[in-house]
Structure formats: structure tokens, C-alpha cells
Amino acid sequence: MEAFDTALLILRIVAGLTLAAHGLNKIFGGGKIPGTAGWFESIGFRHGTLQAWFAACTETGAGFLLAVGLLTSLASAGFVGVMLVAIVTVHWKNGFFILKEGIEYTLILVAIGLAIATLGPGQYSIDHAVDIADNLDGWTGFAIGVGGAAVAVAQLAIFWRPVKSSEI
């Protein structure tokens, strides 16, 4: 089990910190929140500033929680949700391969999120230290992870109006 827990720790840290960095970049990088908001509006989201903050906070929070293994299945749900929104709004139309900004990378991140939600955080996690890991993994964890997809669908239904090619 030690190898399993070590592998989960590596996966959680790398995936979590990668997502957190992506969120922090929306806040502190390049165009910051106003630039991110403008980009969200350009791809058809209403209330771009709200969407920019929602994405930045979800990515940052879920990323850090995943990395340390705290509320891991909920963090995984955030991971799944933001990546599904990215797939639908940005990457799907570009096909599969990442070189053409397709779904390849984001789809792998969705799978990582669902896998970690299902497997649980492992022994090297805060969830394990406070004895809640077993309550939030397995099929329960998977269901929580899929809940991230439900949130993504709701967000898209409420806020996203795809830009028609004639509007570009």
C-alpha cells in the first residue's frame, strides 16, 4: 500500500498545484481578472467578471485542496467541473489533439479528477489524518466527482451562450 499511497500523493500534488497555478494566473498573470473576464465574454459567457472569479477561485481552491488531500472528493469535483467547462466552451471544436488546442489535455484532467475522487486521497493526506478519507472515496467519491459535471452543466446552461461563427 505504501507505493499506492505514494503514487496518489505524487498525482495529487502535481495535478493540484498545476490547477492552482492556472487559477492564480487568472488573478495575477497577464490581463489579471479584467483580462480573463474579457476573454470569458469573448467566448460567449455572460457576466465575465463573475465567471473569471468563479474559475480562478475554483481552480486555485480545488487545486490546493487536492494537493494537500483535504476534502479530496470535493476538490476533485471542482477539478472535473472546470475542465468540463473548458472542454465544452474552448476545446471541443478543435478536435482531440492538444497541438490544435483540442480536448486531449483537459480530458485527461477530468479522468484524473474522477480517479482521485474514487480512489480517495491515500494515507499521505489531511483527509486520512483527520479520519474522513474513507467516508468520501469509493462510489461516494465517484458520485461527488460526477457532481462537478452537474455543476458544469448548470453553469453552462445559465451563463454560456455560444458565439456563432458569423459573430467572430
Domain membership of residue 87 as a residue range = 2-167
The model's pLDDT over 10-41, given as tens digits with 9 standing for 90+, comes to 999 999 999 999 999 999 999 999 999 999 99
Give the torsion sign (CA, 82, 109, 73, 63). Answer: negative
Helix axes 104-119 and 72-86, enclosed angle (nearest 10): 160
Helix (H) or strand (E) holding 126: helix 126-129
Tell me the HSE value of 154 on the side-chain side, using a 13 A CA sphere: 7
Contacts for 39 with CB less than 8 Å, ≥ 6 apart: 31, 48, 52
Segment 58-114, tens digit of pLDDT: 999 999 999 999 999 999 999 999 999 999 999 999 999 999 999 999 999 999 999
- Distance separating alpha carbons of residues 139 and 145, to the nearest angstrom: 10
For residue 160, give the 3-state DSSP assignment: strand
Number of structural domains (the chain) is 1
pLDDT category of residue 1 using cuts at 50, 70 and 90: confident
